[in-house]
Chain A
Amino acid sequence: MTPLIDSTLQAAAAGVRSGAHSARELVDAALARIDAVDARLGAMLTVDAEGARAAADAIDRRQAAGEPLGPLAGVPIGVKDNICTRGLRTTAASRLLERFVPAYDATVVARLRAADAVVLGKTNLDEFGMGSSNENSGFHPTRNPWDTSRVPGGSSGGSGAAVAAGECWGALGTDTGGSIRLPASFCGVVGVKPTYGRVSRFGVIAYASSLDQVGVLARTVDDAALLLACIAGHDPLDATTSTRPVPAYVPGHGADLRGLRLGLPREYFVDGMQAEVDTAVRRAVAELEHLGARVQSVSLPHTPYAIATYYLVATAEASSNLARYDGVRYGERVADAGDGVLEMYQRSRAAGFGPEVKRRIMLGTYALSAGYYDAYYLKAQRARALIARDFEAAFAACDALVTAVAPTTAFPLGARTADPLTMYLSDVLTTSVNLAGLPAVVVPCGFDNAGLPIGLQLIGRRFDEATLLRIAAVHEAASGMRGRRPPL
């Protein structure tokens, strides 16, 4: 019999509904796994054993009473720690919010609970989502379960590592420039970055509001699709969510891909790409072609401007969003607040924010400041429109784009921390998707010679997550990658 922690999310929930196992058994199995491996990984910032057991017991009582249970019945889920959980510490991995306990649940958390999921704990991240490796956590870095000398990717690295390591059956993440997709790729799990406006951000700690989106990480495409279906849809508390109905995300198993047109963006096969990544992506494309898809080369000519555009737009928005941390209403205030309110702000923020957050606030403030606004921020906003237009043109000729997620597999801790620009270039294949507000799905497609996972990125039209999940499921079934787990 498969150990509980190796079952799929769907099977784990079905077992709770049928009484084959209890929600309490799932929670205890997840807690035991965390006890066994998380000291080596650092994927969790807060484990809510007591709250998770109480929630599981309540679900088990309802099961025993014959009440109907939701689609995520009793399944332990990890929640990225920049998503508010009522009564449970939410830090955004910042020292500034080390003791912040939200008074409310984010809408996505409320929806998980309404689907009878159990919130197991809060996963580690780069502080406020600012990073590509999880080394910018204000508390401790997360390590990659496939090789603990390497990073899990960022910023949802705790979620990626926890799901890959079997600490939970699925996790929520956020993606501003690649923060779900990079960890999914580096940790060998499925990641979904939904369309801008598909999922509510009420109760999510803002980084760059025109780019931020909540999404999911799971071990199979089916499981990711189910989680997405549970959190997607209009939210009156977030005016940026769409009122479009949420379709059924039923990945097409056994279905072929006849009639589907796939585009390979020329500019995404970049110089310096690791050979095994290039090979794995091309092999996956050949497989999809064999299954009936028509493949053509397309051009996204403004791709070389994406990193500059992204880092100007995102840091400008961050400098504004993070102005709220003033040491007055919540968050930390330094004991020696100096002379007057200005010094109190300056000292509290200086003590609370880590180096990368300060760097991005400084860059964004500079780009928005008088005399530089037109040259940097306005310029970037115009370039952003051109990047979005590239995708519109590509989608006139194809239904989805297929690319790598990053030019390399997971890199060693410390390898890119000396030069911020080197770290930013980790996002070269992911930021355009956020700038254009598009959905993307990452599915594992192979391993490099060192045994590290490689992810395939599928990019779709706005609100067309369903097509991406169908392609991902067909690829997953054909590739034999489903259920591959790290040897921890």
Chain B
Amino acid sequence: MPITRDDVRRSALLARLSLTPAEEERFTADLSHILDAFTTLQALPTEDVEVMRPLDSELAPLRDDVVTNPPAADALLAGAPDLHGRLFHVPKIIE
């Protein structure tokens, strides 16, 4: 199934990426080309296959619910592109 320009626009919106018309054209071609090469996967019978769980039972142990990381608010705020005092400044979200 070829990828259309509308598919690309829809994915770009979901991905929060503004694309130029040239990028839309390029990604329409690229995604079609890549997914076309990946169609071999569709022929692989997998109906009875369980999805692999990358975290086996040995992993992900529980720990006590206590704070272990020291507060570093100033250091973290220092990286923000736009601050108002100690608040992150963003464009108006609610009218």
Contact = CB atoms under 8 A, between A and B. Distances in A.
Interface of A: 99-101, 103-104, 196-197, 210, 236-237, 239-244, 302, 304-305, 308-309, 311-312, 319, 323, 326-333, 337-347, 349-350, 353, 355, 358-359, 361-363, 365-366, 369, 375-376, 378-386, 388, 419-421, 424, 437
Nearest to B39: A308
Given A239-B60, A362-B8, A379 B27 contact: no
Contact of A308 (B8, B15, B37, B90): B37
Nearest to B81: A333
B15 A319 contact: yes
Contacts of A386: 44, 46, 49
Interface residues of B, number: 52
B18 A104 contact: no
B92 A382 contact: no
Nearest to B33: A421
A244 B58 contact: yes
A350 B55 CA distance: 33
B68 A100 contact: no
B17 A350 contact: yes
Contact of B16 (A210, A302, A345, A382): A345
Contact of A312 (B11, B12, B38, B81): B38
A241 to B, nearest CB: 8
B41 A361 contact: no
Contacts, number: 163
B85 interface: no
A366 B3 contact: yes
Given A323-B16, A330-B79, A378-B51, A341 B46 contact: no
Contacts of A312: 38, 41
A349 B52 contact: no
Given A349-B16, A420-B30, A421-B33, A304 B81 contact: no
B49 A385 contact: yes
B55 A308 contact: no
A164 B54 CA distance: 33
Given A329-B80, A361-B15, 11 more contacts: A244-B58, A311-B34, A311-B38, A328-B81, A330-B76, A349-B18, A379-B46, A381-B51, A384-B52, A386-B44, A424-B34
Nearest to A209: B54
B91 interface: yes
B93 A341 contact: yes
B43 to A, nearest CB: 10
